[in-house]
A and B are shown apart, each in its own frame.
Chain A
């Protein structure tokens, strides 16, 4: 017997050595069995959650997200979105809810009555998006606890992120999810208008029962499908080393599949397309493969063997542009032409979240810039790399890059809040978006001017490899960049991320005057003077390029500490132009138009816009003749 056992062990050892190691610490293990009622738009489910206490201390309290309760009239989300609008009412079909019918803890018993709603972020006692459970006895460090939960979901018609539209379902934030023990305390925020993600890594075994004609997809890999006698089917999924689980179902989906070979895995790509959007499937696929390639080469390997892209149904665009582990939603319309690269951009951005959220699992509530902002920066880089100079709008008469499209969004709110503010505490949605996304993206583009594009790419690569499958903070990011760049960039982080300083440089004047006006033309010497002004309070070293009419170019470097600087030259040539940041690398500058001055003013832009405006006015006037 012993020999047999030894022989078995000998055989098993190489197999064990080959078995893949978990990528994450796997704090949680969820087993969920859910049944969709496609008529009532509800889900009834049972959940078994096993939580490993790896905190190093006993735990007797557990908070749970109950995020579908955000779709209630008195929730904090409703307050945040409709502040100051007393007329607003949440329609009945737009209401969502999650109810815990029963909660048992192994070894303890039924604790359903012990659940109480808490609101850690605000004073809204009516918000029911977080519930807390106090155990009669603590769970010791290293021990695990198993919760057995029966719950009922009422799905909202999609108005924001999750829900249904006719037979389309995007089911996210749908199950009781435990909070994260982080920095010595539970971190389990309420559901907010701008933010919703922070959870522990683990495994998900989820069974979804839906009508048999529905096509499904999810954050997990499909394990099995069983047809049931009642006309439904049960699809089993398993996801490993992920921290959330979303799924979708729709009888109309057309499935488009392909594979992409990365450095860590062969990735199975699955597009779940709406029939009317099939002509855009190629655009999604091409953008996704290009993005996978750039991320793999620039920032690190994609370790999962799958990615699913959901194309939301008509009328459900509010579920578009969302990210869940190995599962993202696109955003397109049949009316969008090839010159508008919105479908590509959304797929790129949401896939980027597989890195900046999915694997580097930062706290979106408290430091939204770490997923949205860093992701916006990589989006700028990848969209430019894939689609060139006009990476957002590419028509003969109208152009624009992705970064251009976001610049005004940032520049108009730059004074409102620092990037590092907690997501629900920004002045408003515009401020949150303009700063968390656009300003962070612009700040990192600007950082390239100091440390170089390659260095920043290496820094992001290091940051990814170091912090994947963990929950780093903003300071972890700053330290990593400092370390890779080999310099202390605190002055930059303080101004760009922790501060609200405005970066704005201008050429105040540029002129040339003859030293001796009576001298012959070929002997003429000119005094040229250029004044550069720092209009804003963000101090940033800049380059200034001065061009002369003999073709000579001079580059000056100014540390920007003073309010202005004057450059004077005495030459046989006159100054033609002066420009701050001639390489156009300081994306944080709020006004690009004042960065340069041509001594002999080029009026082309003014004439062109004014002419357009004249024509528009004339055309409207001429069209009015139809009324007479």
Chain B
């Protein structure tokens, strides 16, 4: 895929898909760990629900249909431990989150180098980049906090509006509208931090603030295309998830295996599409790096006066890259220790 080919979102999405397809082993690993997390979290639940075995009432109301009120009674049995349901899952979801945080360095290394890492290489990469990923997570948290606060402050706003309006739906639509706008902003922050993660891995950059700055400069002039591609993947995910849920609710109550299978497909898709977004960003980043190398080369040639700088003069985007290269050089010379 050439830089020109990547210029449109479709090209980027396809390049990302291709990269993910080649590096799909990473996805299966993450999914396998996810499945293990789910199974382990449910061990105490399965034990607690053993009391339902052989109960005709349970069979009628929870197997041959799903009676919500009986389900609540089954979960909240006086002799049961509601903590078995929630405690185990919360702990294991948190554990999986930290696993993802740990593994992200290895995932990005695999994507960026576009080769299958050995287990040892993967572990080394994961461990090597772990603290950078943690610091970038903190930066992401700091950047996204105002959005979360803004979302939290919508409630008083909708209450205020509701008190002054006869429209019952106003509050809902305001909350939804603000939520969508904030989610779009959050996705922008996500793209920025994702590119910074990539930069930290690709350049083995220990200073994450420098990666954040490089990512910002890198994205300048290209943000719309990258953001559009990532958003398109996200929207595809929502659409397919809805489609699968639509199918899921139409299955017979007794189709436990099939519903589980659809559930697993949804989980796999959520992980896969997230990696797809990362792969889209990686493919774009790789092309940007290639272009940078060309610019540096071209710039050298211009200075030497041995070849006409065709690329720089004919393409506005290339001109931007030249600007980026200059800013980048200036940035690094100003603040080499951040």
Residue B63 contacts which of A277, A608, A623 (CB distance < 8 angstroms)?
Answer: A608
Query: In the complex, A615→B89 CA distance in Å?
Result: 11
> Given that A408-B73, A628-B101 are known contacts, is A399 also in contact with B263, CB under 8 Å in the complex?
no
Query: In the complex, A579→B64 CA distance in Å?
Result: 18
> Given that A593-B58, A618-B38 are known contacts, is A396 also in contact with B249, CB under 8 Å in the complex?
yes
Residue A598 contacts which of B59, B71, B75, B97 (CB distance < 8 angstroms)?
Answer: B59
A274 at the interface (CB under 8 A from B): yes
Smallest distance from the beta carbon of B136 to chain A beta carbons, Å?
Answer: 9
Interface string of A458-476 (1 = CB under 8 A from B): 0000000000000000000
Query: In the complex, A275→B167 CA distance in Å?
Result: 8
> Given that A609-B49, A621-B38 are known contacts, is A596 also in contact with B57, CB under 8 Å in the complex?
yes
Judge whether B274 and A596 touch: CB under 8 Å.
no
B329 at the interface (CB under 8 A from A): no
Smallest distance from the beta carbon of A417 to chain B beta carbons, Å?
Answer: 18
Q: Which residues of B (320-338) have their CB < 8 Å from a CB of A?
A: none
B223 at the interface (CB under 8 A from A): no
Interface centre among A166, A404, A408, A610 (most CB of B within 10 A): A610
Smallest distance from the beta carbon of A192 to chain B beta carbons, Å?
Answer: 28
A603 at the interface (CB under 8 A from B): yes
Judge whether A624 and B97 touch: CB under 8 Å.
yes
Kindly state the interface size class of chain B when it binds its partner: 35 or more
Judge whether B63 and A624 touch: CB under 8 Å.
no
A522 at the interface (CB under 8 A from B): no
Residue A333 contacts which of B37, B45, B168, B264 (CB distance < 8 angstroms)?
Answer: B168
Judge whether B96 and A621 touch: CB under 8 Å.
yes
Query: In the complex, A284→B140 CA distance in Å?
Result: 50
Query: In the complex, A584→B57 CA distance in Å?
Result: 9
Judge whether B89 and A613 touch: CB under 8 Å.
yes
User: Which residues of chain B are near A626, meaning CB under 8 Å?
Assistant: 190, 274
Judge whether A625 and B271 touch: CB under 8 Å.
yes
Judge whether B274 and A593 touch: CB under 8 Å.
no
Query: In the complex, A615→B264 CA distance in Å?
Result: 7
Judge whether B67 and A404 touch: CB under 8 Å.
yes
Judge whether B166 and A593 touch: CB under 8 Å.
no
User: Which residues of chain A are near B46, meaning CB under 8 Å?
Assistant: 606, 610
User: Which residues of chain B are near A404, meaning CB under 8 Å?
Assistant: 67, 69-70
Q: Which residues of B (177-223) have their CB < 8 Å from a CB of A?
A: 190
Query: In the complex, A478→B45 CA distance in Å?
Result: 45
B254 at the interface (CB under 8 A from A): yes
A314 at the interface (CB under 8 A from B): yes
Judge whether B71 and A609 touch: CB under 8 Å.
yes
Interface string of A239-270 (1 = CB under 8 A from B): 00000000000001000000000000000000
Smallest distance from the beta carbon of A609 to chain B beta carbons, Å?
Answer: 6
Residue B256 contacts which of A408, A607, A618 (CB distance < 8 angstroms)?
Answer: A607
User: Which residues of chain A are near B274, meaning CB under 8 Å?
Assistant: 622, 625-626
User: Which residues of chain B are near A604, meaning CB under 8 Å?
Assistant: 59, 62-64, 254, 256
Query: In the complex, A624→B33 CA distance in Å?
Result: 13
> Given that A405-B69, A617-B92 are known contacts, is A611 also in contact with B45, CB under 8 Å in the complex?
no
Query: In the complex, A594→B100 CA distance in Å?
Result: 42
B12 at the interface (CB under 8 A from A): no
User: Which residues of chain A are near B56, meaning CB under 8 Å?
Assistant: 577, 579, 595-596, 598, 602
Judge whether B263 and A615 touch: CB under 8 Å.
yes
A491 at the interface (CB under 8 A from B): no
A605 at the interface (CB under 8 A from B): yes
B2 at the interface (CB under 8 A from A): no
User: Which residues of chain B are near A333, meaning CB under 8 Å?
Assistant: 168
Interface string of B228-261 (1 = CB under 8 A from A): 0000000000000000000011100110100110
Query: In the complex, A228→B253 CA distance in Å?
Result: 64
Judge whether B137 and A594 touch: CB under 8 Å.
no
A397 at the interface (CB under 8 A from B): yes
> Given that A609-B74, A622-B271 are known contacts, is A592 also in contact with B93, CB under 8 Å in the complex?
no
B54 at the interface (CB under 8 A from A): yes
Query: In the complex, A596→B59 CA distance in Å?
Result: 10
A515 at the interface (CB under 8 A from B): no
Judge whether B270 and A617 touch: CB under 8 Å.
no
User: Which residues of chain A are near B137, meaning CB under 8 Å?
Assistant: 627-628
Judge whether B163 and A407 touch: CB under 8 Å.
no
Judge whether A608 and B256 touch: CB under 8 Å.
yes
Q: In the complex, what residue of chain B is closest to A313 when comparing beta carbons?
A: B166
User: Which residues of chain A are near B140, meaning CB under 8 Å?
Assistant: 627
Judge whether A610 and B93 touch: CB under 8 Å.
no
Query: In the complex, A593→B46 CA distance in Å?
Result: 16
Interface centre among B49, B58, B190 (most CB of A within 10 A): B58
Judge whether A615 and B38 touch: CB under 8 Å.
yes
B279 at the interface (CB under 8 A from A): no
Smallest distance from the beta carbon of B18 to chain A beta carbons, Å?
Answer: 21
User: Which residues of chain B are near A628, meaning CB under 8 Å?
Assistant: 97, 100-101, 104, 133, 137
Residue B42 contacts which of A275, A335, A601, A614 (CB distance < 8 angstroms)?
Answer: A614
Query: In the complex, A577→B57 CA distance in Å?
Result: 12
Q: In the complex, what residue of chain B is closest to A619 when comparing beta carbons?
A: B267
User: Which residues of chain A are near B250, meaning CB under 8 Å?
Assistant: 396
Q: In the complex, what residue of chain A is closest to B167 when comparing beta carbons?
A: A276
Query: In the complex, A577→B59 CA distance in Å?
Result: 13
Q: In the complex, what residue of chain B is closest to A577 when comparing beta carbons?
A: B56
User: Which residues of chain B are near A334, meaning CB under 8 Å?
Assistant: 168-169
Q: In the complex, what residue of chain B is closest to A603 when comparing beta carbons?
A: B53
Smallest distance from the beta carbon of A252 to chain B beta carbons, Å?
Answer: 5
Smallest distance from the beta carbon of A621 to chain B beta carbons, Å?
Answer: 4
Q: In the complex, what residue of chain B is closest to A589 when comparing beta carbons?
A: B57
Query: In the complex, A615→B248 CA distance in Å?
Result: 13
Judge whether A625 and B69 touch: CB under 8 Å.
no
Interface string of B116-149 (1 = CB under 8 A from A): 0000000000000000010001001000000000
Q: Which residues of B (47-97) have their CB < 8 Å from a CB of A?
A: 49-59, 61-77, 85, 89, 92-93, 96-97
Judge whether A602 and B68 touch: CB under 8 Å.
no
Q: In the complex, what residue of chain A is closest to B53 when comparing beta carbons?
A: A601
B266 at the interface (CB under 8 A from A): yes
User: Which residues of chain A are near B28, meaning CB under 8 Å?
Assistant: none
Q: Which residues of B (27-43) have their CB < 8 Å from a CB of A?
A: 30, 34-35, 37-39, 41-42
Judge whether B57 and A593 touch: CB under 8 Å.
yes
Query: In the complex, A560→B293 CA distance in Å?
Result: 89
A39 at the interface (CB under 8 A from B): no
Q: In the complex, what residue of chain A is closest to B43 when comparing beta carbons?
A: A610
Judge whether B65 and A399 touch: CB under 8 Å.
yes
User: Which residues of chain A are near B97, meaning CB under 8 Å?
Assistant: 621, 624, 627-628
Query: In the complex, A357→B46 CA distance in Å?
Result: 47
B151 at the interface (CB under 8 A from A): no
Query: In the complex, A398→B42 CA distance in Å?
Result: 22
Judge whether A606 and B49 touch: CB under 8 Å.
yes
Smallest distance from the beta carbon of A595 to chain B beta carbons, Å?
Answer: 6
Judge whether A618 and B76 touch: CB under 8 Å.
no
Judge whether A595 and B57 touch: CB under 8 Å.
yes
Query: In the complex, A397→B64 CA distance in Å?
Result: 11
Smallest distance from the beta carbon of A411 to chain B beta carbons, Å?
Answer: 8
User: Which residues of chain A are near B38, meaning CB under 8 Å?
Assistant: 614-615, 617-618, 621
User: Which residues of chain A are near B133, meaning CB under 8 Å?
Assistant: 628
Q: In the complex, what residue of chain A is closest to B250 when comparing beta carbons?
A: A396
Judge whether B266 and A619 touch: CB under 8 Å.
yes
Interface centre among B62, B70, B162, B254 (most CB of A within 10 A): B70
User: Which residues of chain A are near B74, meaning CB under 8 Å?
Assistant: 593, 605, 609
A393 at the interface (CB under 8 A from B): yes
User: Which residues of chain B are near A602, meaning CB under 8 Å?
Assistant: 53-56, 58-59, 63
> Can you report 21 A-B residue pairs in the complex whose CB atoms are below 8 A from each other?
A274-B166, A315-B168, A397-B249, A398-B67, A579-B56, A592-B61, A593-B55, A597-B54, A604-B63, A605-B58, A605-B61, A606-B46, A606-B58, A610-B46, A611-B259, A614-B42, A614-B260, A615-B263, A618-B263, A621-B96, A628-B133
Q: Which 4 residue pairs of A and B lie closest in terms of their CB atoms, listed nearest first?
A: A314-B168, A604-B63, A615-B263, A601-B54
With A598-B59, A614-B41, A628-B104 given, can you name 4 additional A-B contacts, CB distance below 8 Å?
Answer: A592-B57, A613-B41, A614-B260, A620-B89
